[in-house]
Amino acid sequence: MRGLRRKVAEELNLPVDAIAAPMLAKIAEDPSFAYHLNLCKSDPEMLKIVMAETAGNEAPSQDVVLSDAAALARASKAVARWASAGFDRLEDREYEERLDACRACEHLREPPVGSLLYKLTARREKVICGLCGCDVRRKARLPTEHCPDGAAGPGGRWRRR
């Protein structure tokens, strides 16, 4: 276990003692948790929030928000996946099913007030996923994307294709 703890610490640029046994167990049982840790490793505040899941502490009540640069980087990767899959879009029925799942989700948030990116791309309504920071209206349309809610099971709240 010591080797695994060291490897995770190196990957996240954290001291070894910051990687507790509950975190290693969560990584082993929930691949989306490891995915979220990796996404957040360049943003110390986000990493702290994700790590709080295994520290026995509740995550802060404020919305989880990506910086504009991190959100653009994540969106660029999503567009690249979408392009490599041939720019396919979901049929309206499956798109609406995904949106319904998002609308019923406790992680759905309003866009952050101070973000220029969200001002340009999102309406002033609950359309942002609090787990990944994406505009769910756009993300839900792409067959190459998935719901990040690992607590809902593999693939999150969206039906697997």
Query: For 56-100, how does the pLDDT look when each residue is reduced to its tens digit (9 = 90+)?
Result: 433 333 445 567 777 788 888 889 999 999 999 999 999 999 999
pLDDT tens for residues 123-155?
Answer: 667 788 888 888 899 999 999 998 888 777 776
E strand or H helix at 119? helix 116-121
- pLDDT, greater one: 105 or 21: 105
> CA–CA separation, 112 vs 116, rounded Å?
9
Q: Say whether both 84 and 20 belong to one domain.
A: no
Task: Report if residue 59 sits inside a domain.
Answer: no
Percentage of the chain surpassing pLDDT 70? 86
pLDDT reported for residue 94: 95
* Helices and strands per DSSP (H, E), number in the chain: 8, 2
Q: Are 40 and 89 members of one domain?
A: no
Measured N-to-C along each axis, helices 31-40 and 21-29 cross at an angle, to the nearest 10 degrees, of 120
Q: What tokens does 95 get?
A: 């798109």
Domain membership of residue 125 (yes or no) is yes
Nearest to 157 by CA among 82, 89, 111, 97: 97
Contact 149, 105 (CB under 8 A): yes
> Does some domain include residue 24?
yes
pLDDT digit string, tens, across residues 27-57: 877 777 888 888 888 887 778 777 877 764 3
What pTM was estimated for this model as a whole?
0.57
Distance CA 26, CA 115 (A): 32
Q: What is the pLDDT of residue 58?
A: 36
Residues 141 and 81 in one domain: yes
Residues 6+ apart with CB under 8 A from 66: 43, 46, 74, 133
Mean pLDDT confidence for 118-125: 71
pLDDT grade, residue 25 (50/70/90)? confident
pLDDT attached to residue 89: 92
Instruction: Name the nearest CA neighbour of 140 among 111, 97, 107, 105.
Output: 97
Arithmetic mean of pLDDT, 6-34: 81
Residue 95 lies in a domain: yes
Q: How many domains does the chain have?
A: 2
**Based on the number of CB atoms within 10 Å of its own CB, is 85 exposed (0-12), middle (13-18) or buried (19 or more)?**
exposed
Residue 109 belongs to domain spanning: 68-152
